[in-house]
Structure 1
Amino acid sequence: MRSSKGIMAASVAVKLVVEDEQVVLDNGLLQLTLTNPGGLIVGICYNGLDNLLELNNPELNGGFWDLNWSEAGSTGTRGKFDTIEGSEFQVIVENEEQIEVSFKRRWEPSMQGQHSPLSIDKRFIMLRGSSGFYSYGIYQHEEDMPAFNLNETRIAFMLRKQKFKYMAITNDRQRRVALPEDREPPRGKELAYPEAVLLVDPVEPEFKGEVDDKYQYSCENKDNKVHGFICFEPPVGFWQITPSNEFRTGGPFKQDLTSHVNPTTLAMFVSTHYGGEDLVMKFGEGEKWKKVFGPVFIYLNSCTEDKNDTVSLWYDAKEQMEKEVGEWPYSFPASEDFPHADERGSINGRLLAQDWYISEGNIAAKGAYVGLAPPGKDGSFQVEGKGYQFWTNADEEGFFCITNIRPGAYNIYAWIPGFIGDFRCDKDIVIAAGSKIDVGVLVYVPPRNGPTLWEIGIPDRSAAEFFVPDPNPMYINKLYINLPKDRFRQYGLWERYADLYPDEDLVYTVGISDYQKDWFYAQVTRKIGENAYKGTTWQIKFNVDRVGEGNHTLRIALASATFSILEVRINREEANPPEFSSGLIGSDNTIARHGVHGLYWLFNLEISSAQLVQGENTIYLTQARSASAVHGIMYDYIRLEGPPLDECSPSQIKG
């Protein structure tokens, strides 16, 4: 896959050149240039390109670590942007096989208010014969440091805009992209928020009428392993490879940015995307904390001029990603804060589900997401970022094994597709170097009071199974026209609700309606003026043949919530107060960011027999807050359970 020049150079020893203002790492395949002592990446030379990086943008250029932070007590998710520049340079390892260099910024009281109160050590590694380089960061908050909030941190690469015009994220999410100037007025028109721009007069006419929005290219952590750009002249691929999720926030299902127009490629470590303020990392005064982000691998590949094959470059990058995953944890990082394989541990076990209303025996937790995360409450892993997380999928029989776990104390967390709620093992799991822990059989008892009378959706923490409308023809991203599973990634789908329900809100009749066709994927507001909106009320109609004694249970699982209030009323649309109110919940912004899930919520409501009538009943679901077009909720799953069966036992239920 590499050029003939690269193959010949593969045996060249790694060299380091240190000058007053820059540091150069060179292994014959590529040359990496960083500022000294700042550690900003200002040059990547490869395969005849003197520099793959853009250095002429009006704002951000080259490659850099950055973060977004705010003062303690701040609200929201935005703060001060900081491209982290080191003040100390050090050579950590230097030999013919490997170079590792450090660019460190120590926090001092004189930096108060100017920089985040963290000491940060950025590391870069180049290996002999490797067509790329590695980078990782060591962040530390110490006893003498003030409180603050960390909203985001990442590595960003700004590639040459005239060269890198083809983006690849997955096998089917690949396309040519517009130029950054196409997003600026008058060529581009900002839509409901700055990230979304309608390309009205792009330099290249093929993009005219399309919407460009970086959030349309988001990816879940569990799948976010390789992405990047391809240059055609000469044919070169630039790929960001993340071989492990252990240092990312929010667990495997959290979504984050990948690559987007500019052209920009990101390695995201901490962010509030698709989670909101709940994912802000808040540090107290003097709170001791240290975390290693990475290493991630920046991989470069090429093919011959006559081939010019995006497919081969992409699949070669995927093969390299699999190789990097197989070599994790890397043996070569020199920091003692990065434990190698023999300094880590493992656990194995089996997860079962117990639901006597479904099966007399326990049910294997097929495909369950099972993970270790710092001790906390049920489901706390999805907003956790200070520690490390380690996840796997159980097999068809519910068996799981998690390897290469950093030493520390954890809880076991899990959720099982097909079952609501979260599993958490109350007992801490303490991992030591070399430990191999068999946790035996774990049994999850999901919330259940009685037999299912009816259900809407699939309990999988996503709204993907519900009705996702066709986009407004004025707001199209051509990439997703023929990708049914990604149709929710189009801009402005929230506006389609009023088109489909111009006068009355959604009404769903159990036994007649089909949630794939008749349940809109998001309960959004309705526009009633130039800048005014109204909350919406959906109805679920169902029949009860006989009203007996005992309480029913309504369970509502949400896949997303953004500054919303969910109210539930039973057979009385005007009841005040409602039978249930969630209060103001959520800030994950999933509707605006073209997703079908953010943070998971589960609400349970008891309904007395006195609230139901024989014959037709109606449940009213109101999203009562109406401040914005993109505020609303997404349902994961709704279930009505009947009263508990008398003397509930497996044999009786089965009969």
Structure 2
Amino acid sequence: MGSLWSILQILGFAAVFTFATAGPIEGRVKRKSFLKQVDNSTWVIGNGIWNVTQGRQYATKLWYKNKDLVDEAVGHYVSYNGAASDLNWTSAAIVDEGSDYINVRFTAREGDFHWVIYDDLAGAYQYFVNHALPVLGEFRTLWRLDNETFPNGRTNERDGPLPPLSEYRAATNVQDETWQKADGTFLTKYDWSAFLREVDFYGVYGNEVGSWYFNPGKDYYNGNHLKQELMIHRESRTGDAVQLNMIHGTHFQALSQDAFADGKTWGPWLWYLNDGSKEDAARRAKEEERAWPYKWFNNVAYQSRGSIWGKLVLSDGRPAAGAAVFLGDNNSDKTTLDQGKDYYYTTYADEDGTFNIGNVRSGTYGLYAWSNGGKLADVATSVIQNDVTISKGKYTDLKTITWKVTDRKSRIFQLGDFDRQTTGFRGSTPPYGHGRIATCPSNLTYTIGISKPSDWCFGQSSLGTNSIVFPVSSIPESAASAKLIVSLAGFSSGSSADILLNGQKLGNITTGSLSTSQDTYRGATRAGEWYLLEFLVKKEVLKTGENRVEFTVTRSTQWRGWLWDSILLEWV
């Protein structure tokens, strides 16, 4: 076998293809999909279109269109907690097969990684079944591919050339995978991030070939609507084109450490090769969405699904138009962004507050809802309803859910819409830009009734004061006090601020009261980990005429600070 393998390595694709099609499975000479074992730690899988050599950790020698798409790069692998733990495959076997496909299982101590290979498919469906993963934050599969073959990257947020390796070598490293060029601009892999549940398809491509991921359904991802992840990038040390599949990630979160049940399954998703055409990839992405959940996937829990319907109505009688709706963990003490041990579903209510979610895995969930701006821009409260049961083939009707809100007449002022994002503020778009928070003014004054939201910067970090000047026409006798609500769309520790109203300190924004998320210093400008802070204001602190709220930064760390969502003062 050793001498045969040497010949295969020399002859490349043609030799492997001849060897594979000669008899991929005994008695099935027409089968093009195949698994061939070379030795106790090397296997070759593929079909008549592509094939790859899988070693103990890395899959290399990806042959497609008579070319090795990995070349000097690392190849394909599965790992958790960053690059700390790459899975080691101890065996491989065909565990299922049909007239035109095979399901190849690679086994590691932590679980099983599957390649479902169809005879006529340029690529493969992939999924992972947990057996012994530790408590973790990051779990991923990925390709690291030849840098010359794949010079470009595409997500729904960004499309164009990946920075060449030469740019990194001429720049100065200033933090984790972030480099400053001589002209003062930055190179950072985090520019190639995206909101996971908004992604249609993504990958790396060139003039002759493209490598793409399609993740329809997305119910195995952790987090809510605002879950962001790194998708692709240029590896700064070697130049590899990196195509990430962060199936459980933490790149823009405070914490998402989860323990998984034996049998927890991520996927299936489709890894797909073509001639580099984004139009073809877009077409295929739509096909995969229509086909989800996949009927061919022979898994009882995966196929056991039901649906849910409900209507959200605010306590003041308004329909909860456009509300963000999340089906997640039951009776959880985690934020919806940080939930990640099971399966998760997101949608938005329509104009009359009605929401529907189909193809939900059977189980018991918690239902969560919050404002996504628009007609709910003034709604600071949210909804939680636990013990929501989904059964196979059943339609769960939650009927009408009343959402308690405060009287809008009690509002003194509001700056920004409640939507857990920096919507409308200066610098909030596009959603990624390293160092942009440092361009926000150190001192800024916003006058209610005169200034507009775009005058307020999306974040705060530098030493100085952001002030809101607002009028009070009269002090209502019925009010016992007032309440200042500060909604943050993100917070990275290292900077702190005192909050004052007419010179009286109400509290602060600081690491002492908030856990840090990895958002502002990784260039997030739209959202990160959401926090809602409330401060009681004594009635006598307010006065008729002009009043002032101040956020004075007392400690500043470069690129670390907070993202603004909304600031509201109301009588209570």
Match of residue 69, structure 2, among 5, 28, 52: 52
Q: TM-score when scaled to structure 1?
A: 0.75
Quote the offset at 1:181 in angstroms: 4.8
Quote the offset at 1:424 in angstroms: 3.5
Distance 1:408 1:586 in 2: 31
Task: Report what 2:36 is aligned to.
Answer: 17
Q: Find out whether 1:263 has 2:241 as its counterpart.
A: yes
Q: TM-score when scaled to structure 2?
A: 0.86
What amino acid sits opposite 1:179 in the alignment?
P
Distance 1:292 1:52, change over 3 A: same
Q: Find out whether 1:124 has 2:79 as its counterpart.
A: no
SS at structure 1 position matched to 2:284: helix
Distance 1:164 1:524, change over 3 A: same
Distance 1:151 1:377, change over 3 A: closer
Distance 1:226 1:397 in 2: 31
Distance 1:241 1:102 in 2: 20
What amino acid sits opposite 1:173 in the alignment?
R
Distance 1:290 1:585, change over 3 A: farther
Q: Which moved more, 1:211-220 or 1:617-626?
A: 617-626
Quote the offset at 1:585 in angstroms: 1.2
Q: Find out whether 1:605 has 2:535 as its counterpart.
A: yes
Distance 1:219 1:581 in 2: 27
SS at structure 2 position matched to 1:316: helix
Q: Find out whether 1:217 has 2:155 as its counterpart.
A: no
Task: Report what 1:238 is aligned to.
Answer: 211
Distance 2:243 2:450 in 1: 47
Distance 2:362 2:161 in 1: 44
Identity of aligned residues (%): 25
Task: Report what 2:280 is aligned to.
Answer: 316
Structure 1 segment 137-148 matched on structure 2, within 5 A: 137-141=128-132
Task: Report what 1:205 is aligned to.
Answer: none
Q: Find out whether 1:91 has 2:58 as its counterpart.
A: no
Distance 1:135 1:537 in 2: 51
Task: Report what 2:307 is aligned to.
Answer: 346
Q: Find out whether 1:164 has 2:182 as its counterpart.
A: no
Distance 1:168 1:288, change over 3 A: closer
SS at structure 2 position matched to 1:395: coil
Match of residue 522, structure 1, among 440, 459, 483: 459
Q: Deviations over 1:546-598 (max 9, x none)?
A: 2233222222111011125453222116x4xx456664313213112221211
SS at structure 2 position matched to 1:586: coil
What amino acid sits opposite 1:605 in the alignment?
F
Q: Find out whether 1:291 has 2:240 as its counterpart.
A: no
Quote the offset at 1:138 in angstroms: 1.2
Match of residue 446, structure 2, among 502, 505, 508: 508
Distance 1:332 1:33, change over 3 A: farther
Contact 1:570 1:619 in 2 (8 A): yes
Task: Report what 2:13 is aligned to.
Answer: none
Contact 1:623 1:633 in 2 (8 A): no
Q: Find out whether 1:188 has 2:126 as its counterpart.
A: no
Task: Report what 1:133 is aligned to.
Answer: 124
Quote the offset at 1:446 in angstroms: 3.2
Unaligned stretches of 5+ residues in structure 2: 1-20, 22-29, 235-239
Q: Find out whether 1:455 has 2:414 as its counterpart.
A: yes
Q: Deviations over 1:516-574 (max 9, x none)?
A: 02x12111033xxxxxxxxx43221112122233222222111011125453222116x
Contact 1:347 1:438 in 2 (8 A): yes
Distance 2:381 2:228 in 1: 19
Q: Deviations over 1:460-484 (max 9, x none)?
A: 2111411119xxxxxxxxxxxxxxx
SS at structure 2 position matched to 1:468: coil
Quote the offset at 1:216 in angstroms: 0.8
Q: Deviations over 1:159-195 (max 9, x none)?
A: 111111011112x7211123335323xx23213x131
Match of residue 292, structure 2, among 328, 343, 349: 328
SS at structure 2 position matched to 1:293: strand
Distance 1:415 1:450, change over 3 A: same
Distance 1:545 1:210, change over 3 A: closer
Quote the offset at 1:637 in angstroms: 0.7
SS at structure 1 position matched to 2:421: coil
What amino acid sits opposite 1:522 in the alignment?
G
Distance 1:242 1:389 in 2: 14
Distance 1:492 1:29 in 2: 44
Q: Find out whether 1:198 has 2:218 as its counterpart.
A: no
Distance 2:489 2:469 in 1: 22
Distance 2:223 2:290 in 1: 23
Contact 2:417 2:423 in 1 (8 A): no
Distance 1:86 1:335 in 2: 22
Distance 1:30 1:446, change over 3 A: farther
Task: Report what 1:76 is aligned to.
Answer: none
Distance 1:368 1:224, change over 3 A: same
Distance 1:524 1:97 in 2: 58
What amino acid sits opposite 1:48 in the alignment?
N
C-alpha RMSD of matched pairs (Å) = 2.6
Structure 1 segment 253-652 matched on structure 2, within 5 A: 253-261=226-234, 262-276=240-254, 278-281=255-258, 283=259, 289-302=262-275, 313-336=277-300, 339-340=302-303, 343-354=304-315, 356=316, 362-377=317-332, 380-418=335-373, 419=376, 420-421=379-380, 423-447=382-406, 450-468=409-427, 485-486=429-430, 488-497=431-440, 500-501=441-442, 505-517=443-455, 519-526=456-463, 536-549=464-477, 550=479, 551-563=481-493, 564-572=495-503, 575=505, 578-579=506-507, 583-595=512-524, 596-626=526-556, 628-643=557-572
Q: Which moved more, 1:615-624 or 1:456-465?
A: 615-624
Distance 2:407 2:334 in 1: 18
Distance 1:96 1:194, change over 3 A: same
Number of corresponding residues: 529
